[in-house]
Chains A and B, each alone.
Chain A
Amino acid sequence: MEELFYHEKGLFLQKLHPAASLAYICTLLVLTLIFTNPFYLAGLFFCTGLSVWMLEGLETWELFLKGGLFMTVPIMIINPLVSKAGATILWRGPSLPVFGEITVSMEAVFYGAVMSLRLLDVISIFCLYNIMVHPDKAMNMLERFAFKSALVLSLATRMFPAMIRHLENIKEIQLVRGVDFSGGTFKQKINKYTNLIYILLLSSLEDSMEIAEAMHARAFGSGRRTRYVRDSIKPADSVCLAAAAAALLTGAWGTVKGYGVMNFYPRLGPAYSRGDMRMLALLLSMLSIPSLLSWGWRYCRYFR
């Protein structure tokens, strides 16, 4: 808990300009939220997985997917139970207050399965974000638009591990004094843990005054900020940015033209057509560019 979730490994995708990384991740996320065709969602899952693999994050991805699978259970249950729009009824259940007669249709079951895939996609994209973008880089982007908010976030991010260490010290002192954190009733446990926060809060508030004085001494609030850390945009960043922008525009155009969108109700519409597959292949080739560059960067010296 004292370490950031992000770990610097010096990989190509981690070295990208934050604007390029965020554009790529946002494109994946937007496309996941606009497409309903399971082939498209599976394709995006594959692309995300490819990037995760290039970032050597398969173990982290596994953890995220395990949590995600647990979260798909209510989707698989709620959709069939509340949707009455499906025409192919598989089971008729009792009538419940508020919900009326319970019917489970094949379309609703299929919709629940596709939405579970979408949830796994979304979770995988956030997993990618966690291992790809350093929080400081994201914060540097934010501070141009919202300096004070970025400062609050940076300070709190720095204080969090220090507070955890401080908390451990306080806990040890309490243990030496005979406080048993594992014993007692629920109320007694809450009392013990709250005392920990109380002591921590008092010492941290004192620290905040020192931080404020240090900020004041460095001319905080005296006018506009004059120094920023700038990341330079390299050719590889431009390629990734262009690939993300092209994929986003192609995806948006495709959705308007009816590609990537599947009808579920009242009867399942077709998920497969030649046009759809061509569009999917085009999108996947664009979205795979950062991973291909990463592969090239590792194995081919001409890419460096």
Chain B
Amino acid sequence: MAYTIVAALVLAVMFLSFERGKATSKEVALVAVMSAAAAMGRVVFAALPNVQATTFIAMVSGYVMGPESGFMVGAAAALVSNFFMGQGPWTPWQMLAWGLAGASAGLIKRIFPGIGRLGMTFYCLLWGYFFGWIMNLWYWSSFVRPLNINAFIAACISSIWFDSFHAAGNAILYYYFGEGFIKVLKRFYRRMKVTVRYE
């Protein structure tokens, strides 16, 4: 239960930080559109085993719009898609995992501005596994005792095939399409910042 409370607190802090930020109507609309597109990512690739375009879109959004918006895109995508697919105990953890994927992409751009295509591809690959490990956390913390590293490793081993497909999907999506998506999103993000004043 302690882990669930921590997850809920992280979500609350990140939502509050978006709330306190000076998001304009354009930014709110853009985040909403990207969230819906990320949610769609779960539907579009449903035919391919565990290829989740949601992670890729949340990360691209975070990379262009910054950590707070990236988090919102990922977290909102999880919540919104589950309004249609069914909410479950996994929803808060999906919100956290996809939110952190988006936020971390924004942070990595700030820390390593010249990370490049290969660097980001590798980072997206890693997030396929991080996502799985975060999702394993609720499973491990709520239903397995004793809470030791061996039990967590066992939980991760049981999900390694799903996580590997997710990681490979992320890497392929970013390597082939990441730059194109970023270019388009940057263009709209710049348009969003333009204000015309008539005197």
Contact = CB atoms under 8 A, between A and B. Distances in A.
A119 B144 CA distance: 11
Interface of B is mostly: helix
B143 A208 contact: no
B195 to A, nearest CB: 11
Contacts of A129: 87
A159 B86 contact: no
B188 interface: yes
Contacts of A111: 145
Contacts of A212: 24-26, 28-30, 192
Interface in A168-198: 186-187, 189-191, 193-194, 196-198
Contacts, number: 218
A119 B139 CA distance: 9
Interface in B140-175: 142-146, 148, 150-151, 153-155, 158, 169, 172-173
B80 interface: yes
Nearest to B143: A115
B28 A215 contact: yes
Contacts of A82: 144, 146, 148, 150-151, 154
Contacts of B72: 149, 152
A111 B43 CA distance: 37
A34 B142 CA distance: 10
A213 B191 CA distance: 13
Interface string A210-229: 01110110001100000000
Interface stretch (B103-111, B115-123, B125-133, B176-184): B176-184
B6 interface: no
A39 interface: no
A204 B31 CA distance: 11
Interface residues of A, number: 76
B53 interface: yes
Contacts of A153: 35, 76, 79-80
Nearest to A211: B29
Nearest to A133: B87
B137 interface: no
Contact of A152 (B16, B28, B172): B28
A58 interface: no
B55 interface: no
Given A149-B18, A152-B28, A1 B35 contact: no
A123 B86 CA distance: 11
A105 to B, nearest CB: 12
Given A156-B35, A187-B172, A196 B87 contact: no
Given A156-B33, A159-B32, 8 more contacts: A33-B1, A83-B146, A152-B31, A156-B35, A156-B76, A160-B80, A201-B37, A215-B29
Cβ-closest 8 pairs across A and B: A155-B32, A159-B36, A215-B25, A212-B26, A208-B33, A212-B29, A156-B35, A115-B143
